[in-house]
């Protein structure tokens, strides 16, 4: 039988991050840069999967960290820093997705100096090249998945993205989106139903 | 179990995706599994749902290291420009009206951040809310104490669990893990009935449960969350071993990424250096490889593991990604080892 230690344990990593945040709030530029570097890979990956466009992902990156910079002084540790920063990034992604829905601007092709390329194929997917299982999935299925993802509502897409690709639990997703775990669960349910229907013929 | 608690086929199929995500309650999961065990059609539907998940996995994209580097460069450039402009504007203003701030040596960055607080306070005088807030907190505390299940209040992991119980846990019997701000961890276990054990990372039993979940759970979300909690105890050898295991073996990029982040203060540990070398050689994700090189940077000089130097030399000649290759070259230059001869 193990007896619980009643002493409050502040872990090293947690304490490190808290110290970094406090230092950045106090004006330490290096601490701020360390915070950016700790989270920017995740934010960029989220934006890439959500928007499937390197140029939009770059915009999300810039806007997210500028807002972090401007509002860091208002962060009061009443949620985790991870939740706070994801909340900022997801709001920006949602805004962009909603604008796309309105403008219907999500063209499948993208004009670049090198010519026209498929928007979905213009982002790196190294795992697809190296995992033999993924080779077995036909191009048709991949196209159908991408189409189905694009058809989800912005909120469904965001919840689905954070659960499936980012591995966040519904409880955290609810926190990030400022809603309940139950609402996030309903959103995920709708998204998975749509994906299942869209892929019904293939699996 | 009564008949009304067993789902029909429609009820089960509606829940298969949430079952795979590990997001059903204990009761719901029991009902779904009970039905699937006895229904061939629903077993086939579960197999199809797994195929849907695999298909969705196939379109996951990652940001290239070059894109990440470009974003960072652009952002810090923008930040620098904003700071310079602000410094100029505030400097002129401050020299007229706030000489005491300059005397105190406060940075422009700090002044910039505090300006938001000042604005907020100017618009919202919240002093009157403090007594009301204190009363509200008392009320919340009272209600929470009345509503909190006893399993959360009865002390450590051992209060509900014996070591023998733990020895028989299957890989997916740990259903949920959660840590609060104080570092206390709650672990939900399905074993005949659902139970919650609580404790902190100094409890060996809690650590063992978390390590088992990180290594064996089939749910990548649970593994990612478990690794995030374990990162807080990376100073402990068994926790560090679990993070190294996740970094070297987990199929999920998020899990591997979090494990690597958790190990960044322990690059002096030879096992961590070896794991980072494995990432450099074998990880499919170029972002992981770039970060691994970044983490090895403090190990420049004689402290660097010879194996890592060897790996960097291989990276210079074999790595496909130009950015990663360039970083490896710079690392080698930093340890004064020729890319060709060491």
pLDDT digit string, tens, across residues B117-176: 433 343 444 445 555 555 565 565 555 444 444 333 334 444 445 555 665 677 678 888
What is the rounded CA–CA span in Å between residue B331 and residue B334?
Answer: 5
Lowest mean pLDDT among A73-87, B144-158, B228-242, B320-334: B144-158
Is the CB of residue B252 less than 8 Å away from at least one CB of chain A? yes
Shortest distance between the Cα of A139 and any Cα of chain B, in A, equals 10
Assess whether pLDDT exceeds 70 at residue B215.
yes
What is the rounded CA–CA span in Å between residue B57 and residue B65?
Answer: 21
Average pLDDT over every residue of B224-253: 89
Q: Which of B260, B263, B190, B19 is nearest to A189 (CA)?
A: B19
pLDDT grade for B241, boundaries at 50, 70 and 90: very high
What is the rounded CA–CA span in Å between residue A20 and residue A35?
Answer: 7
Percent pLDDT > 70 in chain B is 68
SS3 B185: strand
Is the CB of residue B249 less than 8 Å away from at least one CB of chain A? no
Residue of B101 and B53 predicted with greater confidence: B53
SS3 A117: strand
pLDDT grade for A194, boundaries at 50, 70 and 90: very high
Q: Which residue has the tokens 């009345």?
A: B146
Q: What backbone phi and psi angles, to 5 degrees, belong to B188?
A: -95, 125
The first and second tokens of residue A94, run together, are 């949602």
| Cβ atoms of residues A118 and A53 within 8 Å | no
Is the CB of residue A188 less than 8 Å away from at least one CB of chain B? yes
What is the rounded CA–CA span in Å between residue B70 and residue B150?
Answer: 52
Average pLDDT over every residue of B46-62: 87
User: CB–CB of A2 and B156 under 8 A?
Assistant: yes
Q: Which of B204, B203, B266, B197 is nearest to B231 (CA)?
A: B266
The interface predicted TM-score (ipTM) is: 0.75
The pLDDT of residue A113 is 43
Is the CB of residue B87 less than 8 Å away from at least one CB of chain A? no
Q: Identify from A3, A22, A169 which residue to disrupt to test chain B contact, counting B C-beta atoms within 10 A and taking the largest count.
A: A169
Is the CB of residue B155 less than 8 Å away from at least one CB of chain A? yes
Which residues does chain A have within 8 Å of residue B23's beta carbon, measured at their own beta carbons?
163, 169-170, 185, 188
Which residues does chain B have within 8 Å of residue A80's beta carbon, measured at their own beta carbons?
181
What is this structure's pTM? 0.54
Is the CB of residue B164 less than 8 Å away from at least one CB of chain A? no
What is the rounded CA–CA span in Å between residue A1 and residue B109?
Answer: 52
User: CB–CB of A54 and B61 under 8 A?
Assistant: no
What residues of chain B, 186 to 245, have a C-beta less than 8 Å from chain A?
A: 198-206, 220-225, 231-235
Average pLDDT over every residue of B42-46: 93
Which residues does chain B have within 8 Å of residue A167's beta carbon, measured at their own beta carbons?
220-221, 223-225, 252, 254-255
The pLDDT of residue A40 is 93
What is the rounded CA–CA span in Å between residue A77 and residue B181?
Answer: 9
pLDDT grade for B332, boundaries at 50, 70 and 90: confident
The pLDDT of residue B88 is 59
Residue of B100 and B144 predicted with greater confidence: B144
Q: Give the mean pLDDT of chain B.
A: 74
pLDDT grade for B116, boundaries at 50, 70 and 90: very low
Lowest mean pLDDT among A132-141, B137-146, B265-274, B310-319: B137-146
What is the rounded CA–CA span in Å between residue B71 and residue B67?
Answer: 6
Strand duo B185-191 + A115-118: pairing = unpaired
| Cβ atoms of residues B263 and B271 within 8 Å | no
Lowest mean pLDDT among B14-23, B31-40, B321-330: B321-330
Structure letter (DSSP) for residue B196: E
- For A193, counting Cβ atoms within 10 Å of its Cβ (0-12 exposed, 13-18 middle, 19+ buried), the class is middle
Shortest distance between the Cα of A13 and any Cα of chain B, in A, equals 5
What is the rounded CA–CA span in Å between residue B45 and residue B32?
Answer: 12
Assess whether pLDDT exceeds 80 at residue B111.
no
Is the CB of residue B51 less than 8 Å away from at least one CB of chain A? yes
Q: Identify from A1, A2, A15, A187 which residue to disrupt to test chain B contact, counting B C-beta atoms within 10 A and taking the largest count.
A: A2
Length in residues, chain B? 342
Nearest C-alpha in A relative to B154 = A4
pLDDT grade for B340, boundaries at 50, 70 and 90: very low
What is the rounded CA–CA span in Å between residue B284 and residue A128?
Answer: 9
Most confident stretch, A170-174, B118-122, B326-330: A170-174
pLDDT grade for A116, boundaries at 50, 70 and 90: very low
Given phi > 0 = left and psi -120 to 50 = alpha, else beta, which region is B261? alpha
Cα first-last separation, chain B: 69
Q: Choose the closest CB to B199 out of A2, A10, A36.
A: A2
Count how many Cα atoms sit within 13 Å of the Cα of residue B215 in the half-sphere of its side chain: 15
The pLDDT of residue A185 is 94
Lowest mean pLDDT among A123-127, A192-196, B44-48: A123-127
Is the CB of residue A76 less than 8 Å away from at least one CB of chain B? no
Q: Choose the closest CB to B200 out of A9, A52, A58.
A: A9
Q: Which of B282, B187, B179, B278 is nearest to B232 (CA)?
A: B179
Assess whether pLDDT exceeds 60 at residue B62.
yes
Which residues does chain B have within 8 Å of residue A78's beta carbon, measured at their own beta carbons?
none
Cβ atoms within 10 Å of B163's Cβ, excluding its own: 13
Q: Which of B206, B222, B203 is nearest to B214 (CA)?
A: B222
| Cβ atoms of residues A154 and A51 within 8 Å | no
Assess whether pLDDT exceeds 60 at residue B189.
yes
The first and second tokens of residue B83, run together, are 């700071």
Which residues does chain B have within 8 Å of residue A149's beta carbon, measured at their own beta carbons?
56, 59
What is the rounded CA–CA span in Å between residue A69 and residue B98?
Answer: 24
Cβ atoms within 10 Å of A87's Cβ, excluding its own: 14
The pLDDT of residue A159 is 95
What is the rounded CA–CA span in Å between residue A145 and residue A130?
Answer: 20
Shortest distance between the Cα of A161 and any Cα of chain B, in A, equals 10
Average pLDDT over every residue of B331-340: 62
The pLDDT of residue A39 is 93
Is the CB of residue A9 less than 8 Å away from at least one CB of chain B? yes
pLDDT grade for B180, boundaries at 50, 70 and 90: confident
Assess whether pLDDT exceeds 80 at residue B321.
no
The pLDDT of residue A199 is 85
């Amino acid at each position: 039988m193990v007896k619980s230690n009643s002493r409050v344990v502040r872990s090293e990593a947690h304490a490190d991050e808290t110290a970094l945040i406090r230092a950045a709030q106090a004006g330490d530029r290096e601490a701020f840069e360390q915070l950016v570097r700790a989270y920017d890979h995740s934010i960029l990956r989220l934006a890439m999967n959500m928007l499937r466009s390197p140029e939009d992902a770059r915009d999300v990156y810039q806007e997210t960290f500028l807002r972090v910079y401007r509002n860091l002084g208002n962060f009061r540790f009443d949620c985790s820093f991870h939740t706070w920063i994801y909340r900022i990034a997801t709001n920006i992604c949602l805004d962009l997705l909603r604008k796309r829905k309105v403008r219907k601007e999500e063209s499948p092709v993208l004009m670049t100096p090198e010519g026209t390329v498929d928007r979905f194929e213009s982002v790196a997917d190294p795992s697809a090249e190296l995992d033999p299982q993924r080779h077995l999935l036909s191009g048709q299925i991949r196209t159908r998945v991408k189409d189905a993802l694009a058809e989800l509502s912005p909120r469904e897409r965001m919840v689905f993205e954070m659960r499936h690709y980012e591995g966040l639990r519904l409880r955290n997703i609810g926190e990030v989106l400022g809603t309940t775990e139950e609402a996030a669960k309903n959103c995920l349910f709708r998204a998975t139903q749509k994906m299942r229907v869209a892929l019904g013929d293939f699996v | 179990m009564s008949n009304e608690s067993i789902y029909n086929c429609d009820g089960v199929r509606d829940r298969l995706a949430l079952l795979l995500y590990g997001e059903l309650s204990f009761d719901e999961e029991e009902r779904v599994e009970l039905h699937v065990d006895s229904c061939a059609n629903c077993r086939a539907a579960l197999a199809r749902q797994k195929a849907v998940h695999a298909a969705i996995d196939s379109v996951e994209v990652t940001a290239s290291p070059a894109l990440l580097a470009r974003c960072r460069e652009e952002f810090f450039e923008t930040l620098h420009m904003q700071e310079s402009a602000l410094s100029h504007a505030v400097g002129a203003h401050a020299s007229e009206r706030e000489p005491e701030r300059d005397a105190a040596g406060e940075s422009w960055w700090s002044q910039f951040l505090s300006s938001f607080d000042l604005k907020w306070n100017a618009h919202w005088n919240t002093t009157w809310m403090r007594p009301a807030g204190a009363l509200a907190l008392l009320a919340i505390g009272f209600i929470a104490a009345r509503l909190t299940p006893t399993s959360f209040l009865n002390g450590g992991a051992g209060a509900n669990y014996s070591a023998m119980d733990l020895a028989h846990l299957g890989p997916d019997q740990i259903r949920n893990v959660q840590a609060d701000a104080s570092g206390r961890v709650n672990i939900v276990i399905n074993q005949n009935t659902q139970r919650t054990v609580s404790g902190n990372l100094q409890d060996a039993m809690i650590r063992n449960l978390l390590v088992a979940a990180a290594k064996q759970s089939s749910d990548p979300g649970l593994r990612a969350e478990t690794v995030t909690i374990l990162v807080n105890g990376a100073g402990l050898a068994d926790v560090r071993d679990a993070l190294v295991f996740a970094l070297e073996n987990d199929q999920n990029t998020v899990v591997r990424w979090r494990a690597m982040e958790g190990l960044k203060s322990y690059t002096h540990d030879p096992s961590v250096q070896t794991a980072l070398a494995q990432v450099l050689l074998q990880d499919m994700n170029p972002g992981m490889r770039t970060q691994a090189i970044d983490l090895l940077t403090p190990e420049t000089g004689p402290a660097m593991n010879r194996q890592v130097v060897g790996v960097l030399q291989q990276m210079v000649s074999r790595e496909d990604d130009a950015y990663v290759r360039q970083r490896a070259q710079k690392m080698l230059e930093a340890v004064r080892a020729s890319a060709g001869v060491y």
